Structure 1
Amino acid sequence: MGFNPLFTILKDNKLTRPNYIEWKRNLDIVLTAEEYKFCTYEPKPEQPAADAPEDEKEYYKRWIKADEMSRCYILAAMSGVLQHQHQSMATASDMLFNLKELFGDQNRAARQVAMKALMNTQMAEGTPVRDHVLKMMSHLNEIEILGAELDGETQIDIILMSLSKSFEQFRLNYNMNKRQYSLAELLTELQAAEGLFRQSVQVYVAEKGSSSKPKGIKKKKKAQTQKAVKAVGVQGGVKKPKGKCFRCKQSGHWKQDCPLPKKTNNTGVPAIQNA
């Protein structure tokens, strides 16, 4: 029988009482890689009748094969004493249930720590959604190993509530359309949504960049405006006169604009002054 190369994880770390949690985690990795894990939580199907549909017969054969291989992996990763205790059990799920009863008393405190880590994990904005979901799935798997029972819908809800605000619309669509996902399907859908978000952001940035005016043009226009104002000031007579008034000897105006009255001679006729 050819085992998955990952089986070396179990072979090098056979089950003993202190390492049950790590051993169960490694077992789940191997069974998941071989696509056998489903038989540990799905009940054994009834043997189909001769005239049963082909898909029903196929599922029965698949379940029996998965259970057989799972039992082999479990027994091969045990000490001799544990093998003797479990080899007569009918299914892999029966073996795992008994092991949980034997070694599960150490799990309570560890389960509380794992649950706290799960509930406190929140996705930071900008984090790849794949990395976050895989981290959440790891927490969920650890909690399951430690004996907590969370149904599939609850697991999905926990992951959705841990997502960043950019996935608010995704959550809304999920609730309004009453979607049903497995963890793998949820990960696929979230990655697709993340791709759409990134495309929208890129388009927005591109459009915003094309609508903005270059800084050089703005500076040039300002310089031209200042030059025009200066020219108007000179040509329009706005410029203040330089020097002093010849009449009052004060600066700031010309002689013809002087506020002082013109000097007169003895005859009362204004004296003629040189400009």
Structure 2
Amino acid sequence: MAEATAVAVAAASALVIFDCDSKLTGPNYVDWYRSIKLLLTAEIYLSVLDEQPPQESHPDDDPEYIEFYENFIVRESKASLYIQGSIDKTLVDSIKDLRTAGGKMEKLAELFNRQLTHAHYDMRLETMGIAFNLLYKTNVILKSLPGSYAPFRMSYKISNRELELTELATALVETEKTLKGNKPKVNTTDAKPSSKQKKKKKGNKGKT
């Protein structure tokens, strides 16, 4: 009896975060799903959702099994109370006859799974949009480079790298430094005189 009371008190304390606005009402299933998963993870009860309930222990069973069974019951009870305490009263009847926390979550998922599917789909679209936007901007930058950057463009495409724009800018700065360093230097002492200079020299010879 004391253990059951302790479980109920612990569950009530942890569910303070679920106020009237955050309790599951139906339309907010996606937000509630994330919150209850975070709560169960923080309380180290998330794994119980996927565990198969062990057979009930008896006084003559091995002490280790009895301890294991009692530990499971405590975790299962707390998880179930967390879930039931985080949903609106109008939804309690839909899960009250289900014994396990995992069963309660599955039933709620059946009722509101369409919302969760749409949320995952929207997240995938958003991710794809970000990736497409980066690829488009990268292609625009690469195509705008002068011909001297042709080796850089070819190397970038062959490597299949996907650099962020800041990383691409850094790589281009380094390439520019390399290109400037490779420019041939003209030695003024070896420069040949222009045709005009030659004509002037010839004209000077005739005057003397």
Query: TM-score, normalising length from structure 2?
Result: 0.50
The structure with more helix, counted as a fraction of residues: 2
The higher radius of gyration belongs to 1
Greater RCO between the two (CA within 8 Å, min separation 6)?
2
Query: TM-score, normalising length from structure 1?
Result: 0.39
